[in-house]
Amino acid sequence: MLSTLAGHFFQPRPRAVLDVFGLVDLTDPFYHEPKSCPDPTQPLRFLCRWPEGSLEAMFKNHDPSHAEVCCPYTSELEPIMTFGKRREVWGVEYITSEKDYKRMDLFKHFITNHEIFPLLFRKESFGTQEAYEVALKGFSGLHLLEHGKEYPPTVVMHGTADSLVPVEQATVSSKSYEN
């Protein structure tokens, strides 16, 4: 998402943009319509270990002192990746804790319940659904292209196995970059 926004907002503009599995449309119904994850084992492999209410309390808490800045992603946690392999890949010794698993379960909750963008944008602070959608479009590289501004040459890389960003976003954005 940020790479495509760089092409719109950075000054001087980048010479080119590389969009790898990029999220370019925050208004895509994929992120807002209730449904379960397409494949609950990939990439969100952990079953929630905490009651639903405790996760909801976590994401309603806006106290910045509770923010996490660094945490391995699901595929970097045990048992998927061993401590030794993570040290080899990261170059540092990072010992996971229950907080890491809880954060990934919280992320799974956001994704499966389509609450990540309402939370990030604090949807409740917008007076109307239309105002909220305007804000989402303001951070969606694809919608910003519609304004006819010049945009740097862009390479889009996206596979069909991505369960978090629909491949259709890459297809639609590629056609828009060509115009």
Q: Is the pLDDT of residue 44 over 70?
A: no
| Listed residue (96, 106, 91, 49) closest to 76, CA to CA | 96
pLDDT at 20 (0 to 100): 84
Select from 64, 90, 113 the last residue of a domain. Answer: 113
Residues 54 and 97 in one domain: yes
Q: Can you tell me the distance from the alpha carbon of 140 to that of 103, in angstroms, rounded to the nearest whole number? A: 25
Residues 98 and 140 in one domain: no
Residue bearing the bigger pLDDT, 32 or 43: 32
Residue bearing the bigger pLDDT, 168 or 37: 168
pLDDT at 127 (0 to 100): 93
* pLDDT tens digits for range 103-155: 887 877 777 778 888 888 999 999 999 999 999 999 888 888 866 677 888 88
pLDDT at 38 (0 to 100): 47
Phi–psi pair at 11, nearest 5 degrees: -130, 120
Q: Check if the beta carbon of residue 128 is closer than 8 Å to that of residue 11.
A: no
Q: Check if the beta carbon of residue 153 is closer than 8 Å to that of residue 17.
A: yes
pLDDT at 126 (0 to 100): 95
* pLDDT tens digits for range 46-89: 455 666 677 677 777 778 887 766 677 777 888 888 889 988 98
4-18 mean pLDDT = 87
| pTM given for the model | 0.66
Residues 106 and 173 in one domain: no
In a domain, 120, yes or no: no
Q: Can you tell me the distance from the alpha carbon of 31 to that of 163, in angstroms, rounded to the nearest whole number? A: 11
pLDDT at 40 (0 to 100): 42
In a domain, 119, yes or no: no
| Number of domains, the chain | 2
In a domain, 48, yes or no: yes
pLDDT at 132 (0 to 100): 95
pLDDT band of residue 31 (cuts 50, 70, 90) is confident
In a domain, 49, yes or no: yes
In a domain, 118, yes or no: no
Residues 96 and 135 in one domain: no
147-165 mean pLDDT = 77
Which range of residues forms the domain containing residue 21? 1-35+125-179
Residue 101, C-beta contacts closer than 8 angstroms, at least 6 positions apart = 46, 49, 77
pLDDT at 179 (0 to 100): 65
In a domain, 175, yes or no: yes
pLDDT at 123 (0 to 100): 92
Q: Can you tell me the distance from the alpha carbon of 164 to that of 91, in angstroms, rounded to the nearest whole number? A: 27
